[in-house]
Chains A and B, each alone.
Chain A
Amino acid sequence: MKKLSAYVLWVMSSVCLNAQPVNLGTAGNFGVLAGSTVTNTGATVVTGDLGVSPGSAVVGFPPGVVTGTIHAGDAAAAQAQIDLTNAYNNAAGRPGPTLVAADIGGTVITPGIYNATSSLGITGSVTLSGAGVYIFQIPTTLTTASNSHVILAGGATAANIFWQVGSSATLGTGSTFYGIILAQASITITTGAAFNGKALARTGAVTLDSNGVTGGGPPPPEAPAPSSLILVAIGLTFVVLYKGRARLFRQSKEN
């Protein structure tokens, strides 16, 4: 009985304690959002909208490509910044984080809320394993080394990974990175870094250099299966036709 009670408590606590995603509001439509400027070099592709507010400078598009709309200092960008501030505060205020090392390279991390004492680095590879929400609370900087990789496993998705950065984030050359960066100041994605997520900076600049920023824009379309009622109706029709054909076949053989 004690074991059963403990199991029930464990199930209930694991259900209740699972972190919920951070609501990005209209900022979720943006692949890139900056406070001062967005500067790009090379053939960067940004999926979703690109915005700047309260600044308005957008440099380097083209040669960069934005699949959505560029909002340079307009009302949509301003609203997205308000929503970003709410999301940033929400992520920063999530209670009960687990402390991680200053460099999480070489580790495997499961869904949950984590914090660093100061800055956070990734050297080599870090694996985020398991379906669920990951929130990293980083008081100062986030820095990934050149050719470092964030690896997703077991159902982890970029849309559920939130990096709340107290100052600035820098992704190293040739690195692979997943998740939504909510930075207080600036975000720099260096040459050739593959970034699957959203780069959302509150006050500073977002700097891009020949990157793919693929996490922006509205959610992709879905492919739901037809209703099971219709499928069974089709199935019954098929069975009736099959039986009828079999009966006809038998009769023709007898004749």
Chain B
Amino acid sequence: MRPAVVVLATLTLLVSYAPALRGMFEQWSNDEDVSHGFVVPIVVLWIVWRERERWRTLPIEPSLWGFAILAAGAAMQLAGALGAGLFAMSVAFLISVVGAVLCLGGFAWLRALAFPLLLTVFMLPKLALVYNQVTLPLQLLASRLAAGILTVAGIGVIREGNILEMSGHRVSVVEACNGIRYLLSLGFMAVVFAYLADTKPWMRVALLAAAVPVAILANAVRVAAAGWLPWLLSGTPHAISGWFLFVLCLVMLAVLRQLFNKAYALYLS
């Protein structure tokens, strides 16, 4: 594949989807739930570069289907610009990237690039309709779990909706405490970790699935800890406790990977 053609196609996509990219950039800058979006393209490009030897051996067989997918992406971009919103425009960009890969390299290239392309899903902005539906249930789930953890630990707690009341102080489990940040960040890291630490593609799906309960539980533990020790509610201790728990989540994923591998070995034998 000629590098000049790839560069030209990339520039065309970037210019065509500049409003979507600008919107994504703004959301990553202003919303701490999705600020990891800055890192996703870097990791995706690094993976593409890391596997450069593999791409060189692939046959270049451009497919006309690519144009159909590019047209679908353009239609979606138009719908987004007419009112469907930033999420639609961002999906349109990713669809057009898929179309461009098909146009330039064909299905063999699309198959080979499937993993980094799927990883770009993590850089999509929030879909407000879904986010608004899940945020309150997640807040209440985190509140319920945190209250349960505190009760099991022998600490008296009264839960009223998303408010936890311990002796002498209260904690409000607001939107920013609902666990979305842990979920998205740990989901992304689970897939990247599985890619780097394991050769089996199913491990990426397994660790991604495992990341969901781990992230929800870790967030509840974080809220419970802040409820138990009020000095964890602000400043450096608050930040460090959040980071520390995230590292524990990653350790848990590493342990789970080993357990999955052992179970798989047992299954094969």
Is B181 a contact partner of A156 (Cβ separation < 8 A)? no
A95 contacts the other chain (CB 8 A): no
A1 contacts the other chain (CB 8 A): no
Number of residues in A with C-beta < 8 Å to the partner?
A: 32
A235 touches which of B28, B165, B185 (Cβ 8 Å): B185
Is A227 a contact partner of B32 (Cβ separation < 8 A)? yes
Is A239 a contact partner of B226 (Cβ separation < 8 A)? no
In the bound complex, residues from chain B placing their C-beta under 8 Å from that of A232 are 36, 39, 185, 188-189
How far apart sit A93 and B86, CA to CA, in the bound complex (Å)? 37
Shortest distance between the CB of A13 and any CB in chain B (Å): 15
Is B32 a contact partner of A229 (Cβ separation < 8 A)? yes
B201 contacts the other chain (CB 8 A): no
How far apart sit A214 and B164, CA to CA, in the bound complex (Å)? 12
Is A228 a contact partner of B192 (Cβ separation < 8 A)? no
Is B233 a contact partner of A156 (Cβ separation < 8 A)? no
- The range of chain B's interface size is 35 or more
In the bound complex, residues from chain B placing their C-beta under 8 Å from that of A246 are 197
Given contacts A225-B242, A226-B181, contact A239 B196 (CB under 8 A): yes
Among residues of B, the one whose C-beta sits closest to the C-beta of A238 is B250
Tell which of A158, A220, A228, A239 has the most Cβ of chain B within 10 Å: A228
Among residues of A, the one whose C-beta sits closest to the C-beta of B189 is A235
Given contacts A155-B140, A229-B39, contact A223 B182 (CB under 8 A): no
Shortest distance between the CB of B206 and any CB in chain A (Å): 17
Among residues of A, the one whose C-beta sits closest to the C-beta of B39 is A232
The stretch among B14-22, B67-75, B155-163 that forms the contact with chain A is: B155-163
B35 contacts the other chain (CB 8 A): yes
In the bound complex, residues from chain A placing their C-beta under 8 Å from that of B184 are 228
Is A157 a contact partner of B160 (Cβ separation < 8 A)? yes
B119 contacts the other chain (CB 8 A): no
Interface residues of B (CB under 8 A from A): 28, 32-36, 38-39, 43, 136, 140, 160-163, 165, 169-174, 176-177, 179-182, 184-186, 188-189, 192-193, 196-197, 219, 222-223, 226-227, 230, 232-234, 238-239, 242-243, 246-247, 250, 254
**Could you jot down 20 A-B contacts, CB within 8 Å?**
A131-B161, A152-B160, A155-B140, A155-B161, A157-B160, A221-B172, A222-B174, A222-B176, A222-B177, A223-B222, A225-B179, A225-B180, A225-B181, A228-B36, A228-B185, A231-B189, A235-B192, A235-B193, A235-B246, A242-B193
